[in-house]
Structure 1
Amino acid sequence: MVKNDARTIYMRKSINEALNKIWEYPLTVVEAPMGYGKTTTVKEHLKKNHAEVLWQTLLDESITVFWNGLCRLFRRLNPDAAASLAGVGVPSNSVFLEEAVGIVEGIQFPARTTLVLDDYHLLSSTDVDRFFELLVRAEIPNLHIVIVSRSVFGENMEELALKGYCWVIDKSYFVLSREDIVEYCRLRGVILNTEEVDFLVSYTEGWISAVYLCLLGYLQDGRIEHQVSLYELIDKVVYRRISAEAREFLLTICIFDNFTLEQAEYLWCQKDAEVLLRRLAANNAFIRYDRAAGTYYMHNIFTSYLRKMFNRLSLEQKKAVWNKAGKWYVNAGDCIHALDYFYKTADFDNLLAAIEFDKGNSIWSEHKEKLIQYFGDCPVKIKREHLQACLIYAINLFSFNEMELFAEQCEEIGRYIEALPGEMEYEKNQLSGEFELLCIFTKYNHIAGMYEHIQRASCLLKGPSEFIDKNGSWTFGSPSILYMFYREGGQLEQEVQEMNEAIPHYCRLTDGHGLGAESVMQAERYYYIGDFENAEITLHKALYSARSQNQTAIELCALFLQLRLAVVKGELGYVMNNLRQTREEIKHRGLYEYLHTWDMCEGFVFSYLNMTKKVPAWIANGDLQGQSILFPSYAFFNIVWGKALLNSGQYLKLIGLAETFVDHASVFPNLLGLVYTYIYEAVAKSKLGHQEKARLFLEKALAIASPDQVIMPFVENGEYLVAMLAEVEAGGHYPELISRIRGIFPPFEKNRKTMSAELSSGGSKLSLTEREWTIAELITAGMTNRAIGTKLHIAEVTVKKALQNIYAKLGINSRTALARIIIEHRTE
């Protein structure tokens, strides 16, 4: 009897043996072209072996969509870890990368947990590649990653394989031999003669999809078809054999890579979608239903054929399908996919409406180019009818640092609002008020100019802004408010007063956004002029205000100043505890975007204490571009990096970078960035024996600081400046300012040396046994647990247990963090 079961799966012994090794390696890469049965084979093997499977099929190139899906998978095992991973977001830099790996390492995985990433080739992301590479190197107990792809995984796959981290199953395992083809035919109930077998071997070259289609034709017509192409085979033995209604249904739904019944019903608009799907899945191996996920999947080959047929439809027919798909995604809360489909149909009205509905929450930096394209192609008439979308677009341009486009968009919005008819007075006032809040960014760093827009917005808006996100970072990641807004020499006190006047009005319009910023700036001014008592008093007010409205960005600025005041008093225990506790609180609250801010705070403190090796590596290496630092914070980053360079004796490099530091600090401007840079340049010149040039740069810094009596940058660097300041004072320059610096410096310096010595002695030894230290060194060298066990003649499980003890002793949770500590220890 001839069997005609579309679901018959042929599992060869060799491929089963290859897949059995999944549980011997942290990573298995299954790599072969489309149509070789990779997905089906892996899925069936894991099912038969009762693995704990976390399966994610990639749908497109969107990194954000992929990451959100990955977090949902981990939610099954550890909801808290999944939420933390979502909070970190795609690990696009070293800070987030280490954090993300550490979170996954903290999950307890059941035996044989297998994370499968299907169609991984669609992603093409070095950030994600690096994340999985580090997960693999971490050898997390019970976690095995399987990457199913049409191309090789990452640029380091060969190295991973050589070091024993990775097992590769390539195309050769999937190519059917002559004997395999005969056996596969037998399983389908087909016995072929020698000539027919010869043809199948020659025609299909062992490609199982082609063999399947030829057999399907044989089961239908009793003979092997000699078609020219695979698409002709699909057309004859699959597509033409189903009803006209089913063909129309497939052409409607083929725009999705996978879909739910609800999606199919929404696009099909008829009641028989479920019946059609069940019938198609039962009789066709190219369509399958995943009951656990509630999702239908179509094979890539079949999808490619259907989309080729879809493209032959009239433009109006295609637009109707795309438009429905866009509306589906709006209802599903997936703004980005909705925009893509509305753009295909040139339906800009719905495109901008989707942005307004989403309020821009789905827009990330990876969408920048398409967003610019969509608005660039959108007719002016449509944009005038969707001014909220234009406001959302403008603020995204600012966050993308597309300042020229931002300015153009602001000008455009202003014209649109002005052209609104008189009978729309209320709407015009509301939009004008929101526009005034947007225009604050055009005057960034100029408090008086920003305040003018705030006052105009206050007269126009009848309630809190719907445009400004109260939970957004008010500081652009800066750890200091005064750094952001101190722009004019001799005007610091006036600028503090202007901030005191402006912030209450702004907070009323934004439901508390930025509350406490005025008090932080005032407290910072007291600190910088050496009035530590008033600084601490005002600081408590700032912390209370910021916390009352959950203004984390402002709170961190206040906590940073609190640390600096503790340094003045020599309270090392307080400093170290609060550095650690604040970092843990940031993670606990899922506010990972602020880790870079706190890294800069930590880097500043350790640089001041001359503990350069404890400065976060990305700062010490000047890795600014690879991090989530916005341009307004660049000059503060340079303050920390510059001091690290100074402490490590990299004087030539510091001098070479000084011009860039000055350029960054001159844009808005940020006077503190200039003062610190000139101080560093003076010290570097002096160390290289250029004393006259050194004095000139020091006098540049003094000239900026003197009108406002800003003394702390000089006190903080006093160990390098004492002699030079004495020479400047002897020449009759800046006597009052230098006198105040000299008055504060001695006790300050005494506390600094005491803390530095205490910190250095306390960190001179790691609390590891000799065996643990050896294992830590080998891990840092990149060896796997298995390789370490072999080298030390101990069981792999013993290595894993020792590693857990090492993590507990050092208060870390990842190999990356361990490697950093070991490397730092070697250099101390």
Structure 2
Amino acid sequence: MPRFNPTALYVRQPLRQAMGRIWDFPLTVVEAPMGYGKTTAVKECLKDSDARVLWQTVIDGSASGFWRGFCRMLKKIDAGCAERLAELGVPDNSIFMDAALELIGNAPFPARTVLVFDDFHLLSSKTVEQFLELLVKMTIPSLRIIVATRAKFGENTTELALKGFCHVVDKSDFELNQGEIIAYYKLCGVRLRPHEAAELHAYTEGWISALYLSMLNFAREGLVERQASLSELIDKAVYRQCPAEVKEFLLAVCVFDSFTLAQAQAMRPDENAEALLSYLVSHNAFIKYDKYSKTYRMHNIFTDYLREMFARQGRERRRAVLRAAGSWYAGSGDHIRAMDAYHQAGDFHGLLAALELAKGHSLNTEHKEKLIRYFRECPAKIKKMHPWAWLVYTVYLFVFNEKELFAEQCAEIRGYIGQSGSDENTRAQLAGELELLCSFSRYNSIAGMTEHLQRAARLLRGPSRFLDRKALWTFGSPSVLYMFYRESGRLEQEVAEFAASMPLYCHLTGGHGAGADLVFRAERHYYIGDFENAEILANNAMYVAQAHGQTTIAMCALFLQVKLDIAKGSLAAVKTALQQAREEIKRQKLYRNIHMLELCEGSAYACLGQADRIPAWIAKGDVKDSSLYFPAYAAFNIVYGKTLLITGQYLKLLGLAGHFLGVAGVFPNLLGQIYICIYVAAAHHRLQRRHEAQAALVRAVDIAAADGLIMPFVENGEHIGAILGQLGKDDRYAGFVARVEKTYAAFALKLPAMRAAETDNDLANLTAREREIAGLVAAGLPNRVIAKKLVIEEATVKKTLQNIFTKLGIGSRTVLARLMLERKTGRT
């Protein structure tokens, strides 16, 4: 009789044939319940295929966790692409989705590259599913994708299959019949009689995991024995057979979904982890070693069983294991998982230490509820022992727009400091940090914020320890004046107060927001029609912001420069500035600034009446899917409202006006209120509602005239000219209206030429080679495929694309594809 070998692999022939078709489709979905051998089947299929296999096992439902793993995996192909994707983050909106797909489309995948996503059912993210579907539809010639899952993949698998994008391998392909059960057991050194195979088939229904466990039992006892449950089978056939030290080891490492040798050694430092793992791999088919990732992974069935056993251990035993896991994660820089492990262990000291160490850099909106729960459950005495982590948490409450919780935590921290037994220097430092934190509670009130900053300066010794100077200073708004103009008739004083306060803020934060005071001054000059001084200060602001690494302030300076170039009639300068800014964002991997840039672009094209060139997310009003925070929402509404106006959606504009004004009234943001009232006036005018139009325009002028802000009216002169003229007959408004009309007369002369130039820069203005490349891009081909098809260098394709983008005033392959489609179908 052959030697008993329970780890021998058996893959039925119909399954091999089904898996062999992976090369015929961009996507293969392997769907079957737990324990059917999906992972083994995929590995066996790829083992001798000479393919470059990149394998990612999904470990939880976190989209951000998946994305981090995905980026780590792609580093093996293109480190630059992986770094840019990591900086971009989960592509949770159309802008980021386009950017991610473009990056991957240009990655140099070797011939026959396979991306495998195992245990995909653990992930709960429509965004990731959509991303993979779009990636599949790109049909990159050298790339194949395999998704192994217990549940149905996505909502469009059937459609993908019908269109030839997808091949599905399902449960029926895995189930062994009686003859195959006999063959499988024989391969492992066990001979079955036909009636025993029939009994096993009736018992297991061809499920290979149950067959494997039954075989272990059959080899020892010589008969088919039905167990009450799969857990009982594992207990009897596997766990009970392990030596005591192996059982202890398994209960320590089962808290990981996969682990390295170093992790195992960290969990059991007093044991020979390498020897124990060698024993397990050779004696147990439920644990495998992946030589590519150098990690060990236990089968989900075995992991579930071990975790049930772990849950029955004593409390202190469980806490010790979870603490060790938390320590490992914290030491490796995975602070999110470290906090999760410490939380499961009930170790809030470790949890807060991990948060303090990370300073929240790994946190985003996805983690908001979890972070709030941690602090609600944390005992007060422990929270007080980690005041720096407490400050980091409170900062994130402001970022997450949890105003009530933010105020509550600020009050608690203040109370703690007053009662703290710490030394005087520590109390002063904490009090100073708190004052800096509380300045955000007075956001938009320059005087109120300055009071807190002055108190902070008297207490702090050096820059803040917890504030991230790389954070978005403007919350995503492309205008400083928009942020801080809150009281009609006091703009000039507000600019002066802000200029006096900013050096103090920059000192306390290590340069955060440097140049914002110059942008504020420059914007005021622009809005009162003083373009020369505005441009001088805008250039100064750009230099200061860039010197201090303050990219969002530089973006505000860019936004102002674009407005100035439009006022001068220089469309070429507008396009060059926007294109260079987009390239700089990509170069520095500052993808979270893309939405700021596209607000600039949207504003420019709205002013030119080019609605089809306004980014789609703005035209749809999708602000909540952007990287903008709530304080920037009214700035978004300025551009969105203008889009509704120039596309003739007057009723929708009027319907949303109350909401727009409500958002602009929160802090308040008077610039937002001025623009929205102008749009409302224009919409009423188009609908022949003269009284309502006049009333809305009067409201806008009443706010703006006290500070001489003529440019919102000039920018919209073609929409409000008639009602503005009527208002000018009123002596109260005559002087202000006259200034608007004079400036608009010069402004209006420039618009026709710019619009004509924009029309001329149609696809017809491209060279023959540029049109050819544009057509291939629209067909979904990546740069390297285009280069091969046209027998040119890939660098030439990239350079040509940049020329196309500049000529057309666009920034992405998606927009280019849309323009090509419009051209093909005769749309304008």
Question: Which TM-score band applies after superposition, normalised by the shorter structure?
Answer: over 0.9
Specify the SS of the correspondent of 2:764. coil
The reply to whether residue 31 of structure 1 matches residue 31 of structure 2 is yes
Tell me which residue corresponds to 1:822. 820
Distance 2:778 2:758 in 1: 26
Distance 1:100 1:779 in 2: 16
Tell me which residue corresponds to 2:409. 409
Distance 1:707 1:429 in 2: 43
- CA spacing shift, 1:775–1:337, aligned 2, 3 Å: closer
Tell me which residue corresponds to 2:701. 702
- CA spacing shift, 1:697–1:42, aligned 2, 3 Å: same
Whether the 8 Å contact between 2:254 and 2:303 is mirrored in structure 1 is yes
Q: How does 1:86-235 map to 2 (within 5 A)?
A: 86-235=86-235
Specify the SS of the correspondent of 2:543. helix
Deviation at 1:770, TM superposition (A): 13
Whether the 8 Å contact between 2:774 and 2:820 is mirrored in structure 1 is no
Distance 2:62 2:790 in 1: 38
Whether the 8 Å contact between 1:546 and 1:552 is mirrored in structure 2 is yes
Whether the 8 Å contact between 1:516 and 1:542 is mirrored in structure 2 is yes
Q: How does 1:47-62 map to 2 (within 5 A)?
A: 47-62=47-62
Deviation at 1:667, TM superposition (A): 0.3
Distance 2:135 2:633 in 1: 31
Tell me which residue corresponds to 2:237. 237
Distance 1:237 1:737 in 2: 90
- CA spacing shift, 1:214–1:2, aligned 2, 3 Å: farther
Distance 1:350 1:773 in 2: 59
Tell me which residue corresponds to 2:737. 738
One-letter identity of the residue aligned with 1:763: D
Whether the 8 Å contact between 2:19 and 2:42 is mirrored in structure 1 is yes
Q: How does 1:600-615 map to 2 (within 5 A)?
A: 600-615=599-614
Whether the 8 Å contact between 1:106 and 1:813 is mirrored in structure 2 is no
Whether the 8 Å contact between 1:102 and 1:813 is mirrored in structure 2 is no
Distance 2:155 2:501 in 1: 52
Tell me which residue corresponds to 1:503. 502
Whether the 8 Å contact between 1:98 and 1:817 is mirrored in structure 2 is no
Whether the 8 Å contact between 1:109 and 1:141 is mirrored in structure 2 is no
The reply to whether residue 336 of structure 1 matches residue 375 of structure 2 is no
- CA spacing shift, 1:774–1:810, aligned 2, 3 Å: closer
Tell me which residue corresponds to 1:763. 762
Tell me which residue corresponds to 1:350. 350
Whether the 8 Å contact between 1:523 and 1:534 is mirrored in structure 2 is yes
The reply to whether residue 76 of structure 1 matches residue 76 of structure 2 is yes
One-letter identity of the residue aligned with 2:526: Y
One-letter identity of the residue aligned with 1:593: R
Whether the 8 Å contact between 1:11 and 1:41 is mirrored in structure 2 is yes
Deviation at 1:799, TM superposition (A): 11
60-69 or 148-157, which moves further after superposition? 60-69
Deviations 1:521-579 (A, max 9, x none): 00000000001111111112211211110100000000111111111111111111111
One-letter identity of the residue aligned with 1:379: P
Deviations 1:82-115 (A, max 9, x none): 1111111001111111111111001121111000
Whether the 8 Å contact between 1:217 and 1:237 is mirrored in structure 2 is yes
Distance 1:223 1:779 in 2: 64
Tell me which residue corresponds to 2:594. 595
Deviations 1:583-634 (A, max 9, x none): 1111111000000000000000000001110000110111112222211111
Deviation at 1:765, TM superposition (A): 3.2
Specify the SS of the correspondent of 1:730. coil
Distance 2:714 2:412 in 1: 49
Whether the 8 Å contact between 2:680 and 2:693 is mirrored in structure 1 is yes
356-365 or 602-611, which moves further after superposition? 356-365
One-letter identity of the residue aligned with 1:296: Y
Distance 1:420 1:50 in 2: 65
- CA spacing shift, 1:758–1:814, aligned 2, 3 Å: closer
- CA spacing shift, 1:165–1:767, aligned 2, 3 Å: farther
The reply to whether residue 40 of structure 1 matches residue 40 of structure 2 is yes
One-letter identity of the residue aligned with 1:554: I
One-letter identity of the residue aligned with 1:97: M
One-letter identity of the residue aligned with 1:464: P
- CA spacing shift, 1:771–1:553, aligned 2, 3 Å: closer
The reply to whether residue 684 of structure 1 matches residue 680 of structure 2 is no
- Please give the TM-score of this superposition, normalised by the length of structure 2: 0.95
- CA spacing shift, 1:146–1:817, aligned 2, 3 Å: farther
Whether the 8 Å contact between 1:36 and 1:209 is mirrored in structure 2 is yes
Query: Structure 1: where are the runs of 5+ without partners?
Result: 786-794
One-letter identity of the residue aligned with 2:190: V
- CA spacing shift, 1:218–1:814, aligned 2, 3 Å: farther
Distance 2:302 2:790 in 1: 48
Tell me which residue corresponds to 1:789. none
- CA spacing shift, 1:50–1:757, aligned 2, 3 Å: same
One-letter identity of the residue aligned with 1:821: L
Tell me which residue corresponds to 2:425. 426
Deviation at 1:777, TM superposition (A): 11
Distance 1:805 1:500 in 2: 47
Deviation at 1:16, TM superposition (A): 1.6
Tell me which residue corresponds to 2:751. 752
Tell me which residue corresponds to 2:319. 319
- Please give the TM-score of this superposition, normalised by the length of structure 1: 0.95
734-743 or 29-38, which moves further after superposition? 734-743
Query: Structure 2: where are the runs of 5+ without partners?
Result: none
Whether the 8 Å contact between 1:101 and 1:814 is mirrored in structure 2 is no
Distance 1:813 1:487 in 2: 34
Q: How does 1:482-501 map to 2 (within 5 A)?
A: 482-501=481-500
Taking only the aligned residue pairs, the percentage that are identical comes to: 49
Deviations 1:652-693 (A, max 9, x none): 111111111100100000001000000000000000001111
Deviation at 1:168, TM superposition (A): 0.7
Whether the 8 Å contact between 1:6 and 1:282 is mirrored in structure 2 is no
- CA spacing shift, 1:646–1:741, aligned 2, 3 Å: same
Specify the SS of the correspondent of 2:688. coil
Specify the SS of the correspondent of 2:53. strand
Aligned pair count reads: 814
Whether the 8 Å contact between 1:477 and 1:597 is mirrored in structure 2 is yes
Deviation at 1:744, TM superposition (A): 1.0
Whether the 8 Å contact between 1:614 and 1:824 is mirrored in structure 2 is no
Tell me which residue corresponds to 2:459. 460
Q: How does 1:279-290 map to 2 (within 5 A)?
A: 279-290=279-290
Whether the 8 Å contact between 1:777 and 1:822 is mirrored in structure 2 is no
Tell me which residue corresponds to 1:303. 303
Deviation at 1:805, TM superposition (A): 7.5
